[in-house]
Structure 1
Amino acid sequence: MTTAATVTWSGLRTGQNVGPAPTIGRYGFLDVLRGVALCGILFVNLRDLLYRWTENADLHHPVLRFYGVVIQGRFVPIFAFLFGVSAWLLYSSTQRRMPVRSARWLMVRRFATLLPIGLLNLFLLYSGDILTMYAVIALVLVVPALFLPRGPVLVLGIVGTLVAYWMWGNSPLIAATLMVAGFGAAQFGLPQWLESTRRRDAVIAAVVVAASAAAGVGLTILQNSMMNAGALPAPDVLDRVGGFAGLFTAVAIVTGLSLLWRACGGRGTVTSAPFSILGRTALTNYLAASAVVQILLHVFPDTQLTNLWWLPVATVGILIVQILASAVWLRYFRYGPVEWAWRCATRWEIVPIRK
């Protein structure tokens, strides 16, 4: 898998108007990161689908508490941010093949064709679908960002994210500002920086990991203590603490995994391969997980779990099956089936899928 280490990061960092960053092949680390984020999201989604919620559910149960303070809100920010990053990478590469006007229309089609996919998932498979929201946000916010300079886009994304977390805490609406932040950050060379093996970049990443991990762990402990308190604080206070805990944890995950990637010389490891496979077929696996559970629920009505200890076991089992199936698929095809259909709909042509 080819990386983009040859891009001149120093020129991007100094703010020179170098235009779209050259893209060479795929960014292997982004695939791994997307796969890690997908795993966290599916843990939460499958909890909603597999666990039989009741009015008397024990919210202090260790499994539910673990989900609430370790997984919830820690991986969705990464997924939303990567959506914006990927949007810029596609737009910048498209600009080199066609006029700017045509490239912008292609991006509009890409986001518009994601909408029916999300709506089908929302009404048929999973009521907590995020694809519909992502499509609408992209059409409303990312498309206008195509016409703006990269500096204001990044500033609006970062400031908007901090304000949104302060006002709404761990809300799905945070995806809007994170998407814009990712779109702006990609223009300043973030994908290249995450794979850079330069010593100075690695030192900066290590500092960010230490600071964000400390903040994330501290706020997570505070969040757990507040949930254990006899009298819960105001919901907005708890949401705000949990939201910032998730944000800092997400930053620590991204930069921490980036350090591991750099330590391996930008080639990844055997342990990163499953996440890379999931990342390359993220859309297909996101939808397939809900579809598998819905089929099980219809064929075996008693599939929903009442014993919470089986919930993570069942989730890991589904993820393992998805990794194995995706690995076999990618041996023969370039894209996941839904990714391929989305690409064809975006380009208005049949894209070759076989390797």
Structure 2
Amino acid sequence: MTTADPTAPSMRLPEVGRIAQIDALRGFAVLGVFWIGVGAFGLPYGANALPTLLGTASPLNLALWASTEVYMEGAVRGVFSMLFGASALIYLDEARLARDGVALVDRFYRRNLILMVFGLIHAYLLLWPHDVLYAYGLLGLFLFPLRRLPALALFLIGVVLQGVADLTIEWPAVIDWLRGLPESPDLAAAVSGAGADPAEAARFLGWLRLQLEQDIQTYRSGYLTLFAAQAAEVAAQESTVFYQRHGYEIGGMMLIGMALYRWGVLSGQRPAALYWLLALLGFGVGGWLRGADVYQAYRLGFDPLILAGLAQGDLDLGRLPVALGHVGLIGLLCRWGRAAWLTGALAATGRLALTHYITQTVIGITLFYGFGFALFGRLERWQLALIFLAVAAFQVLFSLLWLRRFRYGPLEWVWRSLTDGHLRPLRVAAGPNTAT
């Protein structure tokens, strides 16, 4: 790879105010979210946690599961969260604040409140309990007073918050998840990985299979059945789970993203050596932390009790290094002239990230749920990977064609128009584009 000047025109999109590397990172992140999401849409929860529970344990299926656990799970959401923090600083540029004053602050808060509404619609009406828009909008309300903190302070606070999120992981929560089982000290010991015996293992595996069958029956049902089944989970995700874990994890990543933007890392203004360092150390350290547990699960034959008792903290400690590894990799690709076709496609996709994120859910529930094609629980991991590739190719192509004529994605335009209180110009001919 060759080193390029990050201020050169090739490092920025033709439209005024857009940063190519940030858009490319966002495009990678939104496609990565669906790589994880297609498994969540298409497989019961137990089958995602225990890869031998459903389908064949072929080398390809296990490789897809392992690579997702090590390099994608949580990390792509981390990249997405970093970019949201960076976008807050771009929106709250000091020059714009000096010019627009309280009007810009008003738009910033309205922007986040509208995003929360989008998240509620996405989670409840579109049946996606793992929505992040609500959390982003809520946490975004707290970013304005933090915008002037030194970059190092933002980074360190973000790292501390990541640690706090990891400390909230306690395996007694798994016992609550197993609330369908009679409570007993022996069961609690088994789930924690201590004192397990074959009878307990068989009992636990039987319960997992029963839950799998119930999930299949539920998700192959009609819309109203699914809405009723998911409403309580959505409420928990956006209240209890948010305050116990996601608020720290996502909020911490936002602050780290603000620091990385301040340092010029996300915008491609640092030397190529730094991006090599992020990629090598990030994937190396994160892969080692996360890969250890994945290898242990494989070595022990995916014993369900032992798998439940593994040190999941390693997976979470590896989340930030792997996310930084992705930042480094995309940073290097943006500097490599031969990869311009790829980074350009990712950048176009990133400009429609909100539209694609919601569209992925619409495609997912249509393909897998009972009121659509009812493919839930019917496909192997490699088949789900093919669906991902087809959807990703469609979204990239759509982005490239759409942006030939329009300045924003459809939902991006709605979001910005509601934020401004008037309809923004949509066609490219109407004027230059901006990053806000």
TM-score band, normalised by shorter chain: 0.7 to 0.9
Distance of 1:240 and 1:146 partners within structure 2: 30
CA shift at 1:57, angstroms?
Answer: 8.6
CA deviations on 1:263-285 (whole Å, 9 max, x unpaired) are 33xx9511223212211100000
Distance of 2:33 and 2:48 partners within structure 1: 25
Decide whether the 8 Å contact of 2:75 with 2:320 is kept in 1: yes
Q: Which residue of 2 aligns with 1:304?
A: 376
CA shift at 1:69, angstroms?
Answer: 3.0
Q: Which residue of 2 aligns with 1:133?
A: 135
Q: Which residue of 2 aligns with 1:240?
A: 313
Distance change (3 Å), C-alpha of 1:314 and 1:102: same
Decide whether the 8 Å contact of 1:4 with 1:25 is kept in 2: no
| Counterparts of residues 1-355 of structure 1 (less than 5 Å) | 5=7, 25-51=17-43, 59-60=51-52, 61=57, 62=62, 63-92=64-93, 95=96, 98-125=99-126, 126-139=128-141, 141-146=142-147, 148=149, 152-165=153-166, 167-168=168-169, 172-173=246-247, 174-192=249-267, 194-196=268-270, 201-228=271-298, 229=300, 230=303, 232=306, 235=309, 238-264=311-337, 269-296=340-367, 297=369, 300-308=372-380, 309-355=382-428
Distance change (3 Å), C-alpha of 1:184 and 1:108: farther
Q: Which moved more, 1:254-263 or 1:53-62?
A: 53-62
Distance of 1:208 and 1:323 partners within structure 2: 26
Once the two structures are aligned, what percentage of the paired residues are identical? Answer: 24
CA shift at 1:81, angstroms?
Answer: 0.6
CA shift at 1:212, angstroms?
Answer: 2.1
Q: Which moved more, 1:70-79 or 1:149-158?
A: 149-158
Query: Residue type matched to 2:281 in 1?
Result: A
Q: Which moved more, 1:270-279 or 1:71-80?
A: 270-279
Decide whether the 8 Å contact of 1:59 with 1:65 is kept in 2: no
CA shift at 1:329, angstroms?
Answer: 1.4
Decide whether the 8 Å contact of 2:278 with 2:327 is kept in 1: no
CA shift at 1:227, angstroms?
Answer: 2.3
CA shift at 1:353, angstroms?
Answer: 0.9
Decide whether the 8 Å contact of 1:115 with 1:136 is kept in 2: yes
Q: Which residue of 1 aligns with 2:182?
A: none
Decide whether the 8 Å contact of 1:305 with 1:311 is kept in 2: no
Distance of 1:88 and 1:64 partners within structure 2: 36
Task: Give 3-state SS (helix, strand or coil) of 2:75's partner.
Answer: coil
Query: Residue type matched to 1:186 in 2?
Result: Y
Distance of 1:212 and 1:151 partners within structure 2: 19
**Structure 2, unaligned stretches of length 5 or more?**
9-14, 171-244, 429-436
Decide whether the 8 Å contact of 1:344 with 1:350 is kept in 2: yes
Distance change (3 Å), C-alpha of 1:262 and 1:165: farther
Query: Residue type matched to 2:378 in 1?
Result: T
Distance change (3 Å), C-alpha of 1:172 and 1:328: same
Decide whether the 8 Å contact of 1:195 with 1:258 is kept in 2: no
**Structure 1, unaligned stretches of length 5 or more?**
7-22
Query: Residue type matched to 1:277 in 2?
Result: A
Distance of 2:425 and 2:390 partners within structure 1: 32
Distance change (3 Å), C-alpha of 1:150 and 1:254: closer
Distance of 2:395 and 2:330 partners within structure 1: 22
> How much is the aligned-residue C-alpha RMSD, in angstroms?
3.0
CA deviations on 1:201-235 (whole Å, 9 max, x unpaired) are 22233233322222122123212123233562775
Distance of 1:324 and 1:105 partners within structure 2: 35
Q: Which residue of 1 aligns with 2:216?
A: none
Query: Residue type matched to 2:24 in 1?
Result: V
Q: Which moved more, 1:339-348 or 1:87-96?
A: 87-96
CA shift at 1:159, angstroms?
Answer: 3.1
Distance of 1:241 and 1:93 partners within structure 2: 39
CA deviations on 1:48-102 (whole Å, 9 max, x unpaired) are 1123567899523414444333421221110111110111111117725733333
Higher Cα Rg, which structure: 2
Query: Residue type matched to 1:117 in 2?
Result: F
Distance change (3 Å), C-alpha of 1:205 and 1:273: closer
Distance of 1:259 and 1:78 partners within structure 2: 16
Decide whether the 8 Å contact of 1:52 with 1:306 is kept in 2: no
Distance change (3 Å), C-alpha of 1:94 and 1:109: farther
CA shift at 1:150, angstroms?
Answer: 5.0
Distance of 1:257 and 1:155 partners within structure 2: 23
CA deviations on 1:289-311 (whole Å, 9 max, x unpaired) are 11123234465443335131311
Q: Which residue of 1 aligns with 2:174?
A: none
Task: Give 3-state SS (helix, strand or coil) of 1:110's partner.
Answer: helix
Q: How many residues are treated as equivalent by the alignment?
A: 328
